[in-house]
Amino acid sequence: MKDSYYFSHDSNALIDPKILEMRCDYGMEGYGVFWAVIEMLRNQEEYKQPLNMTTFKGLKMLCMTNINIEEFITKCINEYKLFESDGEYFWSASLCKRMNKKEKVSKERREASKRRWNKNDEKADSEQNESKNDTNSMQTECKPNANAMQTECKCNPKESKEKESKENKNKEKESKENKNKEKESKENNDCVVEKEKSLSPSRAKLVRFYTNNINSTPSPHEYEKLFCWEDTFDCGLMIRGLEIAAEKNRRFLSYVEGIYKRWENDGIHTLEQYEARERIREAEKQNNDKSEKGRTGNTFFDMLLGGEEADT
């Protein structure tokens, strides 16, 4: 009975971009309804649920919520891409993938258990045979030592083969584990790419740069604070702020927000405005450097003249 209540899910599901988009509309109440739907799908055959009013009313009573369940499910299918549907049923592709993997592992463990029991039976038969051989060996102990030496030599190849077989099995097991790790890593990368596809291109670019250069595991609060600046700056300028923080190795959001606040006070809202101001600053710096060099040169020349007059 315990197995019927179990399914795995990501510990960072709360900050999944699709979930964040849904929470923007429905808040944490919608987050609770979402997991209630997932738990319901977990207990269905093939992890699918009919897309009809019976389902909607059942979820309404189950969750005791004011959310319009029909609208919520429809948005989760068409807008947030949290569920999939063929028009008659709906399901969670992520849940199906996890449950199929779990069923596969369970099947492999059952088969391994059967092989282990069979191996134990074979071992028991082998021990009986060895016991018989030991009896025969004891009967021949009185034979010359040369015969005893020959018997020992015959035993050694067998032990060597068993050891070699065991080493080969260990190598095969390690190879299989490495392949599984590579597969899981590829699946995780594919999952990140899939999440980014659900966002607008500019926001996906911003999220990707932030997680790669500032914080690889941002909290929902960090995402919300970062996205608040999208109404003030364009995507290029926001990413430029992140680049500056990374270049100075100040990889935290409060430092980035300090940059954004200075730009807002200076009336800088686009990357083009920022680059134009930087060009002006660079030109002013070069002119100041030239003026400084000119003043230094004249002063030195005056000193030389003054020195000559003094000598005269």
Per-residue pLDDT of 93-114, as tens digits, reads 999 998 888 888 888 888 888 8
> Nearest 5°: phi and psi at 12?
-105, 25
Partner residues linked to 90 by β-bridges: 49, 85
Q: Which 8-state DSSP code applies to residue 52?
A: S
Q: pLDDT digit string (tens) for 197-251?
A: 667 888 989 999 999 999 988 888 888 899 999 999 999 999 999 999 999 999 9
Tokens read off for 47:
């992890």
C-alpha–C-alpha distance, residues 142 and 129, integer Å? 22
- The residue among 120 and 83 whose pLDDT is bigger is 83
Q: Which 8-state DSSP code applies to residue 91?
A: E
Q: Share the mean pLDDT of the chain.
A: 81
Q: pLDDT digit string (tens) for 46-68?
A: 899 999 999 999 999 989 999 99
Taking 60 as the threshold, does the pLDDT of residue 5 lie above it? no
Rounded to the nearest 10 degrees, what angle do helices 17-42 and 69-78 cross at?
120
> Nearest 5°: phi and psi at 199?
-95, 165
Q: What is the pLDDT of residue 2?
A: 40
Q: pLDDT digit string (tens) for 134-151?
A: 666 666 554 555 555 555
The residue-averaged pLDDT of 276-285 equals 91
Q: What is the pLDDT of residue 150?
A: 55
- Give residue 19's Cα distance to chain centre: 15
Q: What is the pLDDT of residue 312?
A: 37
What is the strand order of the sheet 89-91 is part of?
A: 48-50, 89-91, 84-85
Tokens read off for 115:
């092989």
How many CB atoms are closer than 10 A to CB 56? 16
Q: Model confidence at 131, in pLDDT bands (50, 70, 90)?
A: low
């399914």: which residue's tokens? Answer: 7
Taking 50 as the threshold, does the pLDDT of residue 153 lie above it? no
pTM for the whole structure: 0.38
Q: What is the pLDDT of residue 194?
A: 56
Tokens read off for 175:
């190879």
The SS3 of residue 44 is coil
> Which helix H or strand E contains 143, and what residues bound it?
none
Q: What is the pLDDT of residue 311?
A: 43
C-alpha–C-alpha distance, residues 312 and 309, integer Å? 5
C-alpha–C-alpha distance, residues 294 and 222, integer Å? 50
